[in-house]
Amino acid sequence: MTAYYDKSQYGFTLIEIVLIILIIGIIGTIAIRSFKPSLEQAKESATLEEMDILAMAIAGDTRFVKDGIRTDFGYVGDVGSLPPNLDALYQNPGGYSTWDGPYIEDGYDTDSWGDSYSYAGDVTITSPGNGVTITKKIADATSDLTSNTIFGTIHDGLGYVPGDDSADVAVTVFYPNGTGSMTSATQIPDRSGGFSFTNTIPIGNHLVKAINTVASETTETYISVIPASKSYCELRFDGGYWYSEYAGGSGDIIIEILCSNDSDDAEEDDGGGISLNNDKIELGQMKYVGLRFQNVGLPQGATITEAHIDFVAADNNSENTDITIWGEDTDDAAQINGSDDNISDRTQTSGSVAWNNIENWSMNQTYPTPYIAAIIQEIVGRAGWSSGNDLIIMLESTDLNGKRLFVAHDDDFSKSGLLHVEYN
């Protein structure tokens, strides 16, 4: 009978045991090598998340909104400047009365590797990482957080602007001064009721107040200023103070209204594309230009005796330019938006005005359109028109070869298109 060798009876040989140990070692090495990158990635993710928290403590969390208004602007919104260091986020840096922290808990000053974050009072937080620097930008520039613009207009209770009585009005904005206290700035509006506090306002919710010094009436509103912004607000007194101010020698009443928002002067190219944010409006080069005037204080059925729009030239232009002017035939014009053909698709008034062979323009000079009283008359004569409604004027280029550039609301609201109307 032939004998045979059964390994199961005698266990593993020495060679097999050595091979198993080698295999286990290899697997362990691979696992450790795989684990180290995973651990580093976890530390990097945790550090990035913590840097986001630091950034929100400095400049606010955009997710905090109430009634459509952002409510959280962090340290900058309360103090008016960037913190000198990260300690200022959980310790008042110097008895600041406007400091409303802590904005973070103590202990957020080191990353996941135990190294201190680098922050020097600017818009960048850095971590040395594990040999590879990690950077978090709070904003593109310090001015985006500390030097914004608030602008607006003031009307009386009937919708009229102050005209020559503008010196009777003072508009004041209140905001943190950057060193722990509140400060304010005051302006007298222009004849059209316009005011602007330019490149001085930090992010946050700020009080804007107007006083009619003759009538001793005050009106106020809060405005939310977001980073790198020009924020518009409108103030209105209850009393009707400036009706007589706008009664001309003929007895006609005059109103003047600027474009109120960045989207109130818009362009539409010959393919229907809409451009809402422009420093200059390219009249004659774009197929359509739309101008929306809000809260127009014209009574229904008023007799329009004169109307035109004033433009401030944004360049020197001499090209032959022909334009046709229309109004939107509607009771209350909707806001211009970015959808294709949003200007040309609007119903045009039956009346139009030709503006041909437009004179040469010189930069910063003011140029009026021809009289458009018939267009305004058609709009306010609608049965559904009501004082305080909005209207749109459309300007159509004949051949797209002309060129007249005028200042847009985005660049300087006080120089944007100004609707002038006289009525009785």
228-278, pLDDT tens digit by residue? 988 888 899 988 788 654 444 455 777 888 888 888 999 999 999 999 988
Choose among 70, 370, 380, 364: nearest CA to 253: 380
| Residue-wise burial string across 349-366, b where 16 or more C-beta atoms lie within 10 A, e elsewhere | bebbbebeebeebeeeee
Residue 102: asked if its preceding bond is cis (omega within 30°), the reply is yes
Query: What is residue 328's DSSP assignment?
Result: B
193-229 pLDDT tens trace: 889 998 999 999 999 999 999 989 999 999 999 999 8
Query: Which domains does the chain show, CATH number per domain?
Result: 46-143 (no CATH), 247-424 (2.60.120)
Question: What is the model's pLDDT at position 249?
Answer: 44
Least confident of 10-19, 114-123, 235-244, 318-327: 10-19
Question: What is the model's pLDDT at position 12?
Answer: 57
Query: What is residue 383's DSSP assignment?
Result: T
Q: Percentage of residues in the chain with pLDDT exceeding 90?
A: 65
Say if residue 35's pLDDT is above 60. no
Q: What is the mean pLDDT of the chain?
A: 88
Question: What is the model's pLDDT at position 2?
Answer: 42
- Name the one residue in this structure whose structure tokens are 């433009």: 311
Does the pTM of the predicted model rise above 0.75? Answer: no
Number of residues that make up the chain: 424
287-339 pLDDT tens trace: 999 999 998 989 999 999 999 999 999 999 999 999 999 999 999 999 999 99
Say if residue 31's pLDDT is above 80. no
* pLDDT-based confidence at residue 156 (cuts at 50, 70, 90): confident
Say if residue 5's pLDDT is above 50. no
Choose among 198, 196, 149, 204: nearest CA to 176: 204
Q: Which residues are bridge partners to 307 per DSSP?
A: 421
Say if residue 18's pLDDT is above 70. no
| Residue-wise burial string across 241-279, b where 16 or more C-beta atoms lie within 10 A, e elsewhere | bbeebbeeeeebbbbbbbbbbbbbbbbbeeeeebebebe
Task: Please report how many Cα atoms fall inside a 13 Å half-sphere around the Cα of residue 195, on the Cβ side.
Answer: 27
Query: What is residue 55's DSSP assignment?
Result: H
Least confident of 36-40, 172-176, 259-263, 375-379: 36-40
Question: What is the model's pLDDT at position 153?
Answer: 86
Question: What is the model's pLDDT at position 37?
Answer: 60
